[in-house]
Amino acid sequence: MQTFLDLLSVLILISAFILTATKRINSYIKAFQLQSFLLFLATFTLGIYNFTTKGFLDIFILSIIIFVLKVIYIPRLLHNTYNRVAYKVEKDFFINIPSSILICAALVILTYYSLYSLDGALNIHIKFNLVNSLSVVLIGLFFMISRKKAIGQIVGFLVLENGMFTTAMLSAQGMPIIVDLGILVDLLTAVMIMGMLVFKINESFDSINIERLRNLRG
Amino acid sequence: MKLLLYVFMQLVLVLLLAPLVDGIIKKIKAFSQKRKGPPLTQMYFDLYKLMKKDTVVSETASWVFRTAPYITFISTLLAFMFFPATVILHSISFQGDIILAIYLLGIGRFFMVLAGLDTGSTFGGMGSSREVMIAALIEPALIVVLITLGLIAGSTSIYDIMLLNLQGNSFILNPYSILLFAAIFLILLAETARIPVDDPSTHLELTMIHEAMLLEYSGKHLALMELASVIKQLLFITILANFFLPTGWLGSQATPMLSFLLALITYFFKVVCIALLIAIAEISTVKLRFFSVPNLAAISFALAFLGFMQFIILGR
Amino acid sequence: MNDYFNLILVIYIVAAFFSLIFSKKHQLTNLIANILSATASLSLLILTALHLIVSTSSVELLRITTSVPNISLVLKIDNLSAFFLLCLAILSMSVSIFSIGYMKHYFYRINIGLFNCLYNIFILSMILVITSSNLISFLVCWEIMSLISYALVVYEHDQPENSKAGLIYIIMTHLGTAFLIIAFMLIYVNTGSMEIASAGQLLSPYLKNILFFLFLIGFGVKAGIIPLHVWLPYAHPAALSNISALMSGIMIKTAIYGLIRFILVVLGASTVWWGVVILVLGAISAVLGIAYALIENNYKRLLAYSSIENIGIILIGLGLSFIAFANQQMTIASISLLASLFHLFNHTLFKGALFLGAGAIHYATHTKNLEDLGGLMKRMPYTGLLLLFASLAISALPPFNGFLSEWLTFQSLFQILTASNQGLKILALLIVAALAMAGAMAAACFIKFIGIAFLGLPRSESAQNCREVPIPMLAGIGLLALPCLLFGLFPQIILRLIDRITQEYFAVSISSGLKGISLITNNPLIINESGISLLSATIIGIIFFIVFYTIIRFIGRNTKERIFETWDCGFGGLNSRMQYTATGFSKPLRIVFRFLYRPKRLLWYNKEGPSPYYHSDLNYVVTTEPVFEKYFYHPLAHSLKRWARKSRFYIQTGSVHIYLLYIFLALIALLIYNWVCLTIC
């Protein structure tokens, strides 16, 4: 099972890379969906494992919630938001794709360096998952920086959150369920608010390019 | 004697299998488009017919143009010799180093590109100039993947890397292998002129790369070049099949003949699987704009590099 | 041994004086001086090879002492210097033979006598640099070498760009020498000896780090490490081709000699990060050097940039060796040094051949621009073949020697990857990627060189009408290009010699990996349990060729070959203007790496055509930005100039009294310094 979880953590990292390599908003949402699905798989596996060995059901329940929320509901919400604003094909990134991929690779190295010196009781798999999931957090943040449109920011934020969730799941076998639920509810609210904001931005500026927000300074 | 036997078997294998694999990919693509497609053996007929045809050589061309097909073909074939279909074949003592094999492919490419420039045709130059760009971008990723594989195996010898696959019963499922597999798969698409990079079936001047270099070739020269390119394709498929896909149960040497046959059959099965994968990749993507190829190269490099990182964190 | 060596030196001197005396008779002096010099080089070759095979210790060759302490000329030969002399001898022998034919081009246009005199002294000065065992004589010979090479670079001084090239060269090279002087003085002050000998224990670690940087910059300028490389792409095209071959083939390697001698032997490379610095600089030089070579259309500048790349690869091996040495991993250190020195040797061969070949092209076509060439393969078949060999070797393709040294470099990187800590591992993998990229781009670069210059249709009158060069020139190129294949198939010959050096420094021999030089196949070169044998691969390749050629001939026995014009899309009459140009060939890479090249293009129309979309006459200019010059050297020079202009009136007031005051103050300061020193010590 450990190999399977390791594999999933790598795949989650790759999905973050796929996200940075995509250009279109539709593909952002799909990449996020893929990542969430992988996250669901990881949680599901852990849930089953915990249920069979320790009899706890909470991670299993959490995995179902993740599936409903992150794989189905939020992507659909994003799609709706996206469909409501006017579709315009324009260059959405500040840094071109090869460079941003290489920057992301550098981020992984950086995470690796900062975490590898952590000693103590960490076993190698935990360290491994920690590096991967923290890299996902950083890549999500980098994605938010490098994209111009508001939906990019939302997806980046979601990926960042996925990264944190993965960190909790794969290196600490999950947080108490109440914390997780709190985070998920927060997330849902955040996405909804941001979705509305996008709509508003579009209304006032005729574009969802948040560069335009600069006009708001006096 | 054993060496001779080995070389002979490997030769027969590659000459039989390489055109067939190309046929399989074409067939799968045809099915997806609801066509019947050419028969699997079409390429053998093509090659035979090409060899029986007159050759036309450009009056501008020098001896490079005439020798390039032979050098390309021989060096590609030689590179394939280092990638035995099964480890059992390999145990008949043949030294092979993975970097040497890749650089042997390089010499084939060197002459193919020169031949593209030799006729003085605009298309040849265009194909050549594009080919060297793709090569320059893809090469780092390729070498990084192979060195990482060597690192996992402890040596850059192809035999050791294959042995590693023999021991690890689920090598593909390792976190790093899947990354390396994906990286090589992307490299395969670029190196063998497959769809996101180059379209093997079109002759539209503005987009072609590999075909543009071969535009002036005809007759036996063209046959050799085509054969060389399918051998190269089989070589990369073999890398994927023998370094990543499992064949753990073939380690037993108790009944050499039987296990050899079984090994060959599994090898063939794995090759078909990867051909299927290539066909699916070709069906489901469109050709990239030429200057988007750096994206592909960057992705495959990032994958390769991540694979390496995962390996050094996780260990073997 | 001593006598033979001295005799060789005397022959060079005789050749120099002979050509000076008979400088009026161009044919005669050129022939005799070059034959003398080639003979001397041949004897040097035999001598050094014998030394490497037979003797292991260092031998004193010549001792001229003066009454002044520390000022003496002591020449010693040990394994390292013997190896560098070997490279020098092979190269200078071929260059001398080449010059017999090549200089005909310049008869009664330049002063051949003086040229040959300088040429011989140049070779002599390099021999002295390599064999000097004394800091002062090393420095003096180093300076003579620099000055004479400057004179040779500006030899065709009637062309203004040559003087500019010379100026850049002499400024940069003196910058390097300045650092060397400081380093040598520091060594002398702290050890009290002018001998070049191990001084690792006598110096404090702090001082050693300073010395490392001084040596790195001092020798780095000569080697052309990026960003100290600016002189190289100017100086090489300006010099005559035989001089470029010597400069690129061996002169820049005296800097590598200096790095090995002073950092490994004198300072005793005990710190890991020294190696890391060299490694990273090497990787940067390799990638950027070849990237700049790729877009160059002047073929001599292309070769000059490619030298930077190869120096980079040599430095990668050297850096790895230093790292491993500091980590006490002697096997890795020896393999890396082996790779480095083998690549150095190979680069001497193929870059020498390429520069001589460039000379041959220039001799035949009178142009240095790739865009004016084309179709030379039919007109100069032997030159073409030899240059193809050298290009294959420099592109690191099997079965040539360049591949083997690159393979060895990969193997040493691989060993560092398996046996080092995490940080180095990541660095080593990045270097692997850089090396692979440099390799692929080198292939692209030399495809461009061969493909544009030798293949296709001729692009100018002069390329149309050129003829094959005379036999001495071909012999000179062949003597360098054919060994590329020879040492690719039988690397054991040279690796055994280099093994002597690694044995001396690391006490590890890798000769168990070198199994004989017999013709039996499957006698691989085994490093890291992975063996390769280019010989057996070649033999199998030849057998395959014979078999398949027969089969194909048999199947197609009724076919014939038709010679017809190239397909021209039905326009009728393919001409050379429809071909891809050198600029066009490198365009895709220029676009991909536009952040590096920063290309700018200008397009303007001279004449309206039949429709506004088809202009009948237009100009297209593409330029790339020399990043280092623009963003580093120009601002530096500019601010220096501004500062000088401002401050000159403070110092140079025009009043004699003030000048006298300066002298007075200087004297007082010296006296006080002396007094302080005396009281403290």
Give yes or no for a contact between B225 and B214, defined as CB atoms under 8 angstroms apart: yes
Task: Please state the domain extents for chain B.
Answer: 2-314
Q: What is the DSSP string of C550-588?
A: HHHHHHTTT--EEEEPPP-TTSS---GGGSPPHHHHTHH
* Tens-digit pLDDT profile for residues B168-198: 645 667 788 888 999 999 999 998 888 888 8
> Is B313 within 8 Å of A112 when comparing Cβ atoms?
yes
A90-104, A113-127, C34-48, C415-429: segment of lowest average pLDDT: A113-127
Look at residue A189 in the predicted model and tell me its pLDDT.
77
CA distance A112 to chain C (A): 10
> Is C423 within 8 Å of A113 when comparing Cβ atoms?
yes
C576 in B contact zone (CB under 8 Å) = yes
Residue numbers in C near B119 (CB within 8 A): 456, 566
Q: Is the pLDDT of residue B75 over 90?
A: yes
C279-288, C529-538, C655-664: segment of lowest average pLDDT: C529-538
List the end-to-end C-alpha distance of chain A, in Å, as a whole number.
Answer: 57
Q: Is the pLDDT of residue B309 over 50?
A: yes
Confidence class of residue C162 from pLDDT cuts 50, 70 and 90?
Answer: confident
Q: Residues B83-100: what's their mean pLDDT?
A: 68
Q: Is the pLDDT of residue C474 over 90?
A: yes
Give yes or no for a contact between B179 and B217, defined as CB atoms under 8 angstroms apart: no
Degrees to nearest 5, angle at CA C128 with C124 and C131 = 140
Confidence class of residue A53 from pLDDT cuts 50, 70 and 90?
Answer: confident
d(CA C433, CA B265): 36
Q: What is the largest CA-CA distance in chain A?
A: 61
> Is B175 within 8 Å of A14 when comparing Cβ atoms?
no
Look at residue C320 in the predicted model and tell me its pLDDT.
94
d(CA C5, CA C210): 36
d(CA C332, CA C414): 10
Eight-state DSSP code of residue C264: I
Confidence class of residue C520 from pLDDT cuts 50, 70 and 90?
Answer: very low
Q: Is the pLDDT of residue C479 over 80?
A: yes
More confident residue, A104 or C496: A104
| Position C470, amino acid | P
> Is B313 within 8 Å of A116 when comparing Cβ atoms?
yes
Q: What are phi and psi of C510, to 5 degrees?
A: -105, 15
Residue numbers in A near C422 (CB within 8 A): 112, 116
Distance of CA C258 to the CA centre of its chain: 14
The contacts of residue C584 (CB under 8 Å, 6+ apart) are: B125, B129
Strands (DSSP E) contained in chain B are 55-58
Look at residue C666 in the predicted model and tell me its pLDDT.
92
Give yes or no for a contact between C243 and C99, defined as CB atoms under 8 angstroms apart: no
A72 in C contact zone (CB under 8 Å) = no
Give yes or no for a contact between A39 and A165, defined as CB atoms under 8 angstroms apart: yes
B313 in A contact zone (CB under 8 Å) = yes
Give yes or no for a contact between C232 and C628, defined as CB atoms under 8 angstroms apart: no
CA distance B137 to chain C (A): 7
> Is B53 within 8 Å of C556 when comparing Cβ atoms?
yes
* Tens-digit pLDDT profile for residues C292-306: 999 999 999 999 999
The helix (run of H) or strand (run of E) holding residue B144 is helix B122-153
Within chain C, how many helices (H) and strands (E) appear? 27, 7
> Is A128 within 8 Å of B174 when comparing Cβ atoms?
no
Subunits with at least 3 CB pairs below 8 A relative to chain C? A, B
* Tens-digit pLDDT profile for residues C109-126: 888 889 999 999 999 999
Look at residue B262 in the predicted model and tell me its pLDDT.
80
* Tens-digit pLDDT profile for residues C591-617: 898 888 888 888 888 777 777 777 778
Degrees to nearest 5, angle at CA C358 with C357 and C360 = 60
Exposure on the CB side of residue B54, measured as CA atoms within 13 A: 7
> Is B114 within 8 Å of C437 when comparing Cβ atoms?
no
CA distance C544 to chain B (A): 7
- Tokens representing B108 are 């084939």
CA distance A146 to chain B (A): 16
Q: Is the pLDDT of residue C518 over 60?
A: no
Give yes or no for a contact between C414 and C266, defined as CB atoms under 8 angstroms apart: no
* Tens-digit pLDDT profile for residues C177-232: 999 999 999 888 888 888 887 777 788 888 899 999 999 999 999 999 988 999 99
CA distance C504 to chain B (A): 27
B297 in A contact zone (CB under 8 Å) = yes
Q: Which of B170, B299, B306 sits opposite A13 (nearest CB)?
A: B306
B98-112, B182-196, C439-453, C523-537: segment of lowest average pLDDT: C523-537
Residue numbers in A near B295 (CB within 8 A): 21, 97-98, 101
Q: Residues C13-39: what's their mean pLDDT?
A: 89
Q: Which of C450, C545, C563 sits opposite B74 (nearest CB)?
A: C545
d(CA B78, CA B95): 12
A103 in B contact zone (CB under 8 Å) = no
**Chain B residue with minimum CA distance to A105:** B302
* Tens-digit pLDDT profile for residues C71-104: 788 888 888 999 999 999 999 999 999 999 998 8
- Give which of B108, B107, B140, B112 is closest to C403, Cα–Cα: B107
d(CA C227, CA C288): 10
Handedness of CA C440, C442, C445, C446 (dihedral sign): negative
C548 in B contact zone (CB under 8 Å) = yes
Look at residue C430 in the predicted model and tell me its pLDDT.
93
**Chain C residue with minimum CA distance to B53:** C559
Would you call C231 helix, strand, or coil by DSSP? coil
d(CA C467, CA C43): 34
Look at residue A88 in the predicted model and tell me its pLDDT.
59
CA distance B249 to chain C (A): 26
Mutate to test the interface with B, among A2, A6, A142 (most CBs of B within 10 A): A6
* Tens-digit pLDDT profile for residues A182-218: 777 777 778 777 777 777 777 777 776 766 667 776 5
> To which residue do tokens 């520390």 refer?
C70
* Tens-digit pLDDT profile for residues A32-52: 999 999 999 998 988 888 888
Give yes or no for a contact between C340 and C80, defined as CB atoms under 8 angstroms apart: no
Look at residue C663 in the predicted model and tell me its pLDDT.
87
Look at residue C557 in the predicted model and tell me its pLDDT.
87
CB pairs below 8 Å between B and C: how many? 266
Q: What are phi and psi of C533, to 5 degrees?
A: -140, 105
Q: Is the pLDDT of residue B220 over 60?
A: yes
Give the B window 5-44 contacts with C, CB below 8 Å.
7
Q: Around Cβ C43, how many Cβ atoms within 10 Å?
A: 17
Eight-state DSSP code of residue C62: E
Mutate to test the interface with B, among C316, C455, C534 (most CBs of B within 10 A): C455
A19 in B contact zone (CB under 8 Å) = no
d(CA A120, CA C607): 77
More confident residue, C483 or C654: C483
pTM over 0.90: yes
Give the B window 131-150 contacts with C, CB below 8 Å.
132-133, 135-144, 147-148, 150
> Is B176 within 8 Å of A10 when comparing Cβ atoms?
yes
Look at residue C564 in the predicted model and tell me its pLDDT.
87
CA distance B286 to chain A (A): 15
Q: Is the pLDDT of residue C395 over 60?
A: yes
Confidence class of residue B92 from pLDDT cuts 50, 70 and 90?
Answer: very low
Q: Which of B75, B136, B219 sits opposite C441 (nearest CB)?
A: B136
Look at residue B247 in the predicted model and tell me its pLDDT.
67
Subunits with at least 3 CB pairs below 8 A relative to chain A? B, C
- Tokens representing C272 are 């890991």
Q: What mean pLDDT value characterizes chain C?
A: 88
A94 in C contact zone (CB under 8 Å) = no
Q: Is the pLDDT of residue A119 over 70?
A: no
> Is C417 within 8 Å of B142 when comparing Cβ atoms?
no
Look at residue B147 in the predicted model and tell me its pLDDT.
92
> Is A9 within 8 Å of B302 when comparing Cβ atoms?
no
More confident residue, C295 or B90: C295
| Position C599, amino acid | P
Look at residue C519 in the predicted model and tell me its pLDDT.
34
The helix (run of H) or strand (run of E) holding residue A193 is helix A177-205
The helix (run of H) or strand (run of E) holding residue B278 is helix B256-284
d(CA C245, CA C504): 30
Given its phi and psi angles, is residue C62 left (phi above 0), alpha (psi -120 to 50 degrees) or beta? beta
Look at residue C205 in the predicted model and tell me its pLDDT.
87
Look at residue A128 in the predicted model and tell me its pLDDT.
82
Residue numbers in A near B305 (CB within 8 A): 105
> Is B107 within 8 Å of C398 when comparing Cβ atoms?
yes
* Tens-digit pLDDT profile for residues B106-155: 999 999 999 999 988 888 888 999 999 999 999 999 999 999 988 888 88
> Could you give the angle at which helices C2-21 and C26-54 cross, rounded to 10 degrees?
170
Give the C window 418-447 contacts with A, CB below 8 Å.
422-423, 426
Look at residue C521 in the predicted model and tell me its pLDDT.
37
Q: What is the DSSP string of B197-222?
A: T--TT---TTT-SHHHHTTT--HHHH
Residue numbers in A near B310 (CB within 8 A): 10, 128, 132
A108-112, A179-183, B248-252: segment of lowest average pLDDT: B248-252
d(CA C169, CA C234): 8
- Tokens representing A3 are 């190999």
Q: Is the pLDDT of residue C524 over 70?
A: no
Q: Which of C407, C555, C564 sits opposite B100 (nearest CB)?
A: C407
* Tens-digit pLDDT profile for residues C613-632: 777 788 888 888 888 888 88
Look at residue B95 in the predicted model and tell me its pLDDT.
61
d(CA C265, CA C78): 12
B19-43 burial: b if 16+ Cβ within 10 Å, else e = bbbbbbbbbbbeeeeeeeeeeeebb
d(CA B68, CA B217): 11
Would you call C298 helix, strand, or coil by DSSP? strand
Residue numbers in A near B170 (CB within 8 A): 3
Give yes or no for a contact between A184 and A69, defined as CB atoms under 8 angstroms apart: yes
Handedness of CA A31, A34, A40, A46 (dihedral sign): negative
Look at residue C516 in the predicted model and tell me its pLDDT.
41
> Is C422 within 8 Å of A116 when comparing Cβ atoms?
yes
Q: Is the pLDDT of residue C478 over 50?
A: yes
Q: What is the ipTM of this complex?
A: 0.94
Give yes or no for a contact between C285 and C339, defined as CB atoms under 8 angstroms apart: no
Give yes or no for a contact between C59 and C74, defined as CB atoms under 8 angstroms apart: no
- Give which of B306, B112, B304, B77 is closest to B222, Cα–Cα: B112
Handedness of CA A117, A118, A123, A129 (dihedral sign): negative
Q: Which of C422, C440, C447 sits opposite B139 (nearest CB)?
A: C440
Would you call A149 helix, strand, or coil by DSSP? strand
Q: What is the DSSP string of A98-143?
A: HHHHHHHHHHHHHHHHHHHT--SS--HHHHHHHHHHHHHHHHHHHH
Residue numbers in A near C433 (CB within 8 A): none
* Tens-digit pLDDT profile for residues B32-52: 889 988 899 999 999 999 999
CA distances from residue C650 to C637, C645, C654, C669 in whole angstroms, order as listed: 20, 10, 10, 20
The contacts of residue C209 (CB under 8 Å, 6+ apart) are: C271
Look at residue A180 in the predicted model and tell me its pLDDT.
77
Subunits with at least 3 CB pairs below 8 A relative to chain B? A, C
Q: Is the pLDDT of residue C258 over 90?
A: yes
d(CA C324, CA C333): 5
Give yes or no for a contact between C232 and C309, defined as CB atoms under 8 angstroms apart: no
* Tens-digit pLDDT profile for residues A140-162: 999 888 887 777 888 888 898 88
Look at residue C523 in the predicted model and tell me its pLDDT.
45
| Position C341, amino acid | L
Q: What mean pLDDT value characterizes chain A?
A: 82
Look at residue B135 in the predicted model and tell me its pLDDT.
92
A11 in B contact zone (CB under 8 Å) = yes
d(CA B302, CA B297): 8
Mutate to test the interface with B, among A3, A5, A10 (most CBs of B within 10 A): A10
Give the B window 236-295 contacts with C, CB below 8 Å.
290-291, 294
